[in-house]
């Protein structure tokens, strides 16, 4: 019970986001708009969940965010990790920048590595990336200066700036523009040869490994496979533990805001608790158990998001009907349709995931208690 009281105390910080530097070194904020104004200082680590986050001032620690839009025009003194729809960084990140987003634009300075999973990455000519760029996505343009290597797996990649290291990518189409200047080797796996501008400079060698011709329907096939896996999992849940799934969807739909806030808190605060436990020798075993429970809850939330989407549709269209297989299949179809349009899918699917995660976490708590 003391363990759950500790979690509850930390989660309650979400509902009281105004914390002074004297009170804590970490601040958790769940708001519609999260801002660090110009000339303001957020002392310590900052964790934020909302529709947008704007950092115009300074964050002296790490910055973790799950938002619709993220804008950094100020500076972050340590790591920045974000799950967002759109990201624009024109300021400075003194350590690594790790992003999962739909669209990312970088025009500032990244002292560490830049790790991006996104549909589109645009590193403008004024940007300076002092470490590696690791990019996994559909379309990438790297026109800024890169202090080390460019790595990843991309459908279309254009390099049009200086790269102090080498290039090693799996790519559908690779282009070296007029301003490209690669100090090391260019190694790429692709079915198509590199398109190299006359003024492009490669000091090392250019090596092509045989690749497979890009499939224009690969993304849609991936979406279909993902939906089928999730649908199979949620149908198994429904058939084996029907009442349990119904209780989760009912509890979430009765209080969407509470479930969503609780889900965001669980996702962001639990890693903090695990870090504290792993730092203590006495708490390692509890930390391992919490990690296993955390991973299980996140996986169940991803699976349950299908059912939750169907439940929300039922409440909107036919509130008098009971939740059943029809709405699970309908939820899977809606999620699949959303995933085919990544720019529109990120925020609504993220909200449904938070709601489902909160409801599952609440059910687990009541069951263990």
pLDDT tens-digit readout, 350-366: 889 999 998 898 888 77
Q: Indicate the burial class of 236 (C-beta count within 10 angstroms; 0-12, 13-18, 19 or more).
A: exposed
For residue 26, give its domain range: 1-112
Domain boundary among 66, 95, 112: 112
Q: How many domains does the chain have?
A: 3
Other residues' Cβ atoms within 10 Å of the Cβ of residue 302: 17
pLDDT at 56 over 60: yes
Contact 206, 190 (CB under 8 A): no
Domain boundary among 83, 112, 141: 112
What was the pLDDT predicted at 12? 35
**Judgement on whether residues 102 and 172 belong to the same structural domain of the protein:** no
Cα separation, 195 vs 354, whole angstroms: 43
pLDDT at 197 over 90: yes
Q: Place 166 in a pLDDT band, splitting at 50, 70 and 90.
A: very high
pLDDT at 30 over 70: no
**Judgement on whether residues 6 and 92 belong to the same structural domain of the protein:** yes
**Judgement on whether residues 134 and 172 belong to the same structural domain of the protein:** yes
Least confident of 68-82, 212-226, 236-250, 297-311: 212-226
**Judgement on whether residues 226 and 360 belong to the same structural domain of the protein:** yes
**Judgement on whether residues 179 and 304 belong to the same structural domain of the protein:** no
Q: Place 199 in a pLDDT band, splitting at 50, 70 and 90.
A: very high
Task: Record the tokens describing residue 136, joined without a space.
Answer: 């996994």
Domain boundary among 55, 80, 112: 112
**Judgement on whether residues 125 and 194 belong to the same structural domain of the protein:** yes
**Judgement on whether residues 236 and 331 belong to the same structural domain of the protein:** yes
What was the pLDDT predicted at 126? 97
**Judgement on whether residues 77 and 122 belong to the same structural domain of the protein:** no
**Judgement on whether residues 35 and 9 belong to the same structural domain of the protein:** yes
Other residues' Cβ atoms within 10 Å of the Cβ of residue 221: 10
**Judgement on whether residues 320 and 222 belong to the same structural domain of the protein:** yes
**Judgement on whether residues 98 and 194 belong to the same structural domain of the protein:** no
Task: Record the tokens describing residue 328, joined without a space.
Answer: 């699970």
Contact 90, 107 (CB under 8 A): yes
Q: Place 368 in a pLDDT band, splitting at 50, 70 and 90.
A: confident
Q: Describe the crossing of helices 256-279 and 2-11 by its angle, rounded to 10 degrees.
A: 120
Q: What is the mean pLDDT of residues 90-105?
A: 93
**Judgement on whether residues 137 and 72 belong to the same structural domain of the protein:** no
Residue-wise pLDDT tens digits, 175-194? 999 999 999 999 999 888 99
Residue-wise pLDDT tens digits, 323-348? 888 888 888 888 888 887 766 667 88
Partnered with residue 208 across adjacent β-strands are 188
| Higher per-residue confidence, 122 vs 365 | 122
Contact 306, 248 (CB under 8 A): no
Q: CB within 8 A of 97, min separation 6: which ones?
A: 79, 80, 89, 106, 110, 112, 113, 114, 115
SS (HEC) of 117-132:
EEEEEEECCCCEECCC
């Amino acid at each position: 019970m003391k363990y759950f009281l500790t979690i509850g105390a930390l989660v309650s910080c979400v509902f009281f986001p105004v914390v002074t530097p004297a009170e804590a070194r970490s601040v958790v904020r769940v708001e519609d708009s999260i801002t660090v104004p110009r000339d303001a200082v957020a002392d310590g680590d900052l964790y934020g969940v909302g529709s947008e986050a704007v950092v115009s001032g300074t964050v002296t620690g790490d910055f973790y965010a799950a938002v619709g839009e993220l804008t950094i025009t100020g500076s972050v003194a340590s790591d920045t990790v974000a799950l967002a729809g759109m990201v624009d960084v024109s300021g400075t990140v003194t350590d690594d920048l790790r992003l999962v987003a739909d669209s990312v634009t970088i025009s500032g300075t990244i002292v560490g590595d830049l790790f991006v999973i996104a549909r589109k990455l645009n590193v403008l000519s004024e940007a300076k990336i002092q470490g590696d760029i690791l990019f996994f996505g559909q379309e990438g343009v790297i026109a800024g200066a890169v202090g080390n290597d460019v790595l990843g797996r991309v459908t279309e990649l254009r390099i049009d700036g200086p790269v102090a290291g080498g290039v090693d990518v799996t790519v559908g189409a690779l282009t070296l523009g007029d301003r490209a200047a690669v100090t090391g080797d260019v190694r790429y796996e692709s079915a198509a040869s590199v398109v190299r501008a006359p003024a492009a400079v490669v000091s090392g060698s250019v090596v092509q490994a045989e690749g497979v011709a890009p499939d224009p329907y690969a993304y849609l096939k991936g979406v279909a496979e993902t939906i089928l896996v999730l649908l199979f999992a949620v149908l198994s849940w429904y058939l084996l533990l029907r009442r349990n799934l119904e209780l989760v969807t009912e509890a979430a739909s009765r209080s969407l805001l509470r479930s969503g806030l609780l889900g965001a808190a669980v996702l962001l605060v639990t890693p903090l608790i695990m870090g504290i436990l792993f730092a203590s020798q006495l708490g390692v075993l509890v930390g391992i158990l919490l990690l296993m429970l955390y991973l299980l809850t996140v996986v169940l939330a991803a699976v349950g998001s299908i059912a939750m989407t169907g439940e929300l549709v039922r409440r909107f269209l036919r509130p008098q009907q009971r939740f059943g297989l029809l709405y699970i299949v309908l939820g899977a179809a809606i999620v699949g349709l959303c995933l085919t349009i990544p720019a529109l899918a990120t925020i609504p699917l993220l909200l449904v995931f938070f709601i489902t995660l909160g409801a599952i976490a609440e059910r687990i708590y009541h069951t263990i208690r």
